[in-house]
Structure 1
Amino acid sequence: MTQHIHARTVWISDVHLGFKDCRVDYLASFLKNVKCDTLYLVGDIIDLWAMKKRLFWPKEHYEILMLLYQLAEQGTQVIYVPGNHDDPVRKFAGQNMGPIKIMHEHDYQTVKGKTILIMHGDAMDAYVQHSWLTKIIGEVAYRTLLLVNRWTNRIRKWMGKPYFSLSYQIKENVSGAKKAIEEYKSQCIKNAKHRGYDGVICGHIHYPDLDISDDFMYANTGDWIENCTALTEDFSGKFHLLSCIEQTQLHDNHIKNEVHVA
């Protein structure tokens, strides 16, 4: 059961509504139990790429949009920063979609007055020469991997075992994948520093991370297909990377991370 969360700000990304492997069960529970002043939707909320290939829009996916609207109507400021899978929404940057604000990027002020760049992160693809998704296993193989992962975890659940992500293990253990993730992170940091920011929060690569070094913060919000993660800043200025599933490897490496931006 998802624990009730009361935070100053929450970030989620890479939900991929309209894609069969979107974990709407975990996300619905999370949204019903979260209370925050501001909620950032950091891209790929609706997977228009997947829906071009196959129309998939069950009521559970529609209900996620309704939960987001409800949060906005109840006083939460909801800011939508589209990604590559929902790229057409970028045409409406600077406008509102009902109670939700659409922005191409956004500047965020932390409790301690630091300025953080909020972006989806797909613009960094041009600088990553070894995309693990396209060069290591490819899109078709990735979707096949998710299919295998889906059925494997149904069996594991039936046996009383915790969730296990095959894709995450590939990212952790295949050298090419790890190199691509490191290059992506490096380029995000380089880009934000060059533009005068104190940190960057992004998504895109489905790899949750929270890291601070040299007084600069890098955070990746993860996704709601493999990891079901969210980033929060509490009212004291501490950042937390939260997981809504039991995934031992992810928990050990990332989810315990929290930083206080001075």
Structure 2
Amino acid sequence: MDSTASRFDAGLRRRYRTVFLSDLHLGTRGCRADFLVDFLRQTECEQLYLVGDIVDGWRLRKSWYWDAEHDEAIRLVLRMARNGTEVTYIPGNHDEMFRDWLGLEIAGVRLAKEAVHDAADGRRFLVIHGDEFDSVVRYAKFLAHLGDWAYDSALVANRWFNALRRRFGYPYWSLSQWLKRQVKGAVMAIDRFETALAQEARRRALDGVVCGHIHHAEMREVQGVLYMNDGDWVESCTALVEHHDGRFELVDWARENRLSFFRGAAPAAVPEAA
């Protein structure tokens, strides 16, 4: 029995009031479905928010990629819904095809454009993917797809880099995320994005905002409101969780569990973009 199964069977489950996940990008080779499945198997919650880019429709339209762990991730979410977890799916720009189904409930999963989450301590938070506040995605989709290609290239480099780290016994570390932080323009864009989301929450007289989209996990006060980004499951493998007393926490699953970046051999000779 592997370590994941043994932890699951031993009942070492984390229990939260609410879990927020975004930017899984299921359907891409960059998706860390192994980390995600491990997290879902060990987590229970009363509410689960899927905050966009869960399935990557952009990538699946170009080439089909879907493995057993992608299936397992979907199965575990649906099992949570069957077992009483209130699951809300807020589509993002990569799974915008599901925006045609807003207001429907499918297999216990409710689709919504956005939501307002009432925390245990009485605070109220806007829950939104966030692409509406990204001017490149909103006004220049061609540039967004060009940026998507560059990002895919960084993820390919990330896979090779971590293959070498694994061979030398080092844990997973996101090269692509580090590169993004080194680019001054990217840092400025992240700051503008965070400010725009915080201003929207304040305009609605809410205490804060939970979002995804930019693959940058963060929890900080911006202009008097609490900005929280739950990160992604391509680079950082992070989730935002709410405890039963209303405290929020960013969980870095890759760092906590030190799972190998690759299960098996090194990547193929000619890797495909994520």
Q: TM-score, normalised by structure 1?
A: 0.87
Which of 76, 83, 103 lines up with 1:67 in the alignment?
76
2:221 matched to 1:209? no
Find the counterpart in structure 1 of residue 118 from structure 2: 109
1:89-128 matches, within 5 Å, as 89-126=98-135
Cα deviation for residue 69 of structure 1 reads 0.3
Structure 2 unmatched runs, 5+: 257-274
2:203 matched to 1:194? yes
d(CA) in 2 for partners of 1:41, 1:138: 23
2:18 matched to 1:18? no
2:230 matched to 1:221? yes
For the Cα contact (< 8 Å) 1:127–1:184, is it kept in 2? no
d(CA) in 2 for partners of 1:92, 1:147: 33
Q: Deviations over 1:191-215 (max 9, x none)?
A: 1211221100000000000113565
SS at match of 1:7: strand
SS at match of 1:123: helix
Q: CA RMSD in A?
A: 2.1
Cα deviation for residue 152 of structure 1 reads 1.1
Q: TM-score, normalised by structure 2?
A: 0.84
2:45 matched to 1:36? yes
Structure 1 unmatched runs, 5+: 248-262
For the Cα contact (< 8 Å) 2:53–2:94, is it kept in 1? yes
Aligned in 2, Cα 1:128/1:99: closer, same or farther, shift over 3 Å?
Answer: closer
Cα deviation for residue 240 of structure 1 reads 0.3
SS at match of 2:245: coil
SS at match of 2:205: coil
Give the share of equivalent positions with the same residue, in percent: 39
Find the counterpart in structure 2 of residue 164 from structure 1: 173
SS at match of 2:254: coil
Aligned in 2, Cα 1:212/1:4: closer, same or farther, shift over 3 Å?
Answer: farther
Cα deviation for residue 42 of structure 1 reads 0.2
